[in-house]
A and B are shown apart, each in its own frame.
Chain A
Amino acid sequence: MEVEHLGIWDKIESISYDEMRAIQDKRLIETVKYVYDNVEYYKKKMDNIGLLPDDIKNCDDLYKLPFTTKDDLRDTYPYGLVAVDMDEIVRIHASSGTTGKKIVVAYTKDDIDTWSDMMARCFARIGTEIRDIVHVAYGYGLFTGGLGAHYGAERLGATVIPISGGNSRRQVEFLTDLKPTIIACTPSYMLHLYEVMTEEGFTTKDISLKADMFGAEPWSENMRKEIERLLNIKAYDIYGLSEITGPGVASECIAQNGLHINEDCYLPEIIDIKSKKPLGLDMQGEIVFTTIKKKGMPLIRYRTKDITKLFRDDCECGRTLVKMERVTGRTDDMLIIRGVNVFPSQIESVLLEFSQLTPNYQIIVDRINMMDVLEIRVEMNENLFSDEVRKIEMLERNITQAIESVLAISARVKLVEPKSIERSEGKAVRIIDKRKI
């Protein structure tokens, strides 16, 4: 890639609709044939509905294909959807599942290469250049955020500070000493860093950030305005999920009006939440992706459960890629807390391991001092109540540790009296999300 094209990383981002459609048609046909031949699970799925690869002639036939859900990933755990010999897999990432069982995703060398390119596109989209220093404060490891941003920024040629998450004081030290110009992290973490910075007597004059790339958790337009005002930077949204590749599926450009989807690799569609029928542009529903340039673990019509809509506009950045709106909600009860996916059922299964507790619990999520805080209130079993403070506190500690080992985030556990959690008729109110997003 030539340096002078940094504005738009890849020319494919600004080709005409017809040109893009031709690429998508070709790649979809190839992908369907590829999974049919190489993934037993998909072959069965297609055989079950009497669908042959030849029946898919272009993107208009996409709706004929079966969906893939998180359950499919769980059913085929760990390598059931891998389409290549394990010799060709060079990387594994994982995310937590609803019942504690992990979901793993596998990448070939080419997949990592494509992903790096997609992330380089995203960085270029917000004006990142070779001379920029990118501070990556997403967690490095099984979570795709850290390494995804890292590879993308490196691919672009920028300087990367792979600081990972946590240790806010050290983060501030790096921000003020090394003067990174771009930061990639969750928006709530950015606000937290701002607070730590202020506590330590620094102002925005002491840092050189000009833009940040925020993802991995829901945030609002108001939060954007707040961050931009406090830090005097531009805040951009990025979208992705491990199942599809990680961050880099879609991202905002300088226009800050919708996220350009890298649709030459991740073919998007919106489906009606109830009927599951495809919807057109500008209609809100669940966004579904088909990976059309992935070799290790390609997914057909993957149900993200994220609610948004697709639209096209004449974007000032010159890109023609279709846009998605900021994700406005979920079709399931998944919570995103400090960038980590949390299902209430995970918490429940931990609580049920303690005989001193009842299955009556409530999960309260709040944003205190700009940080997501998770509190779990659980009723004591009245017959197992101990008279000793020490024992009750130890129980709270043990629950906290067990929760942390399953969710990988800390929670405040509070034991409450039996029958004190409000009972509702029908579905229990398990989750109280007080965050104003």
Chain B
Amino acid sequence: MLVKQISIFLENKEGRLAELTSILADACININALTIADTSDFGILRIIVDDVSKTENLLKKNGFSVSVTDVVALDIDNVPGGIAKPLAMLHKSGISVEYIYAFLAKKDDTAHVIFKVSDVTAAVDILSKNGFRNTAKS
């Protein structure tokens, strides 16, 4: 459930994202989940990969600003109210959510959701006690 996410600082510059993803492709690193937070000046690319330290080193070697963050990954039923449940739980426990992104798994009808929260350990504890799981890769 606790997953390491890699964040990369990207200037809003043409081709920069293509360059980064090519570096990962050349190193046979698969991206399991991806999101970009962007402002007018810069973006932060957040990815979940299989081999975190290999990816981190590779990107640093290529001159990227990289940081590794602990996030929570959850399986969520792809039904109405699916995401409302864990969010209500976190809220009740006083854990704030900084950002969320989601992706759908192909095989079953489950959504995988990544949560960046204020207290990762507490969040994992509460959510697993309430039956939440993560079956996605990594």
A residues touching B (Cβ–Cβ < 8 Å)? 380, 382, 385-389, 392-393, 396, 414-420
Contact = CB atoms under 8 A, between A and B. Distances in A.
Interface in B53-111: 60, 63-67, 69, 98
A380 B65 contact: yes
A416 B63 CA distance: 12
A385 B9 contact: yes
A404 B98 CA distance: 31
Interface in B1-28: 5, 7, 9-11, 13
Given A389-B37, A393-B39, A417 B65 contact: yes
How many residues of B sit at the interface, in one of the four size bands?
20 to 34
Interface of B: 5, 7, 9-11, 13, 37, 39, 41-42, 44, 46, 60, 63-67, 69, 98, 116
A382 B39 contact: no
Contacts of A396: 41
A419 B63 contact: yes
A417 B9 contact: yes
9 contacts: A387-B46, A388-B98, A389-B44, A392-B9, A414-B42, A415-B42, A417-B11, A417-B65, A419-B63
A416 B66 contact: no
Contacts of B13: 420
Contacts of B44: 387-389, 392
B66 A382 contact: yes
Contact of B11 (A382, A387, A420): A420
A389 B39 contact: yes
Contacts, number: 49
A414 B67 CA distance: 20
B15 to A, nearest CB: 13
Contacts of A393: 39
Contacts of B65: 380, 382, 385, 417-418
Nearest to B60: A382
A386 B10 CA distance: 12
A387 B69 contact: yes
B10 A415 contact: no
Given A416-B11, A417-B65, 19 more contacts: A380-B9, A382-B64, A385-B65, A385-B67, A387-B44, A387-B46, A387-B69, A387-B116, A388-B44, A389-B37, A389-B39, A389-B44, A393-B39, A415-B9, A417-B9, A417-B10, A418-B63, A418-B64, A420-B63
Interface centre among B41, B64, B98 (most CB of A within 10 A): B41
Contacts of A415: 9, 41-42
A382 B63 CA distance: 9
A382 B65 CA distance: 4
A420 B41 CA distance: 14
B135 to A, nearest CB: 25
Nearest to A377: B11
A198 to B, nearest CB: 27
A367 B33 CA distance: 43
A393 to B, nearest CB: 7
A388 B44 CA distance: 8
A332 B24 CA distance: 46
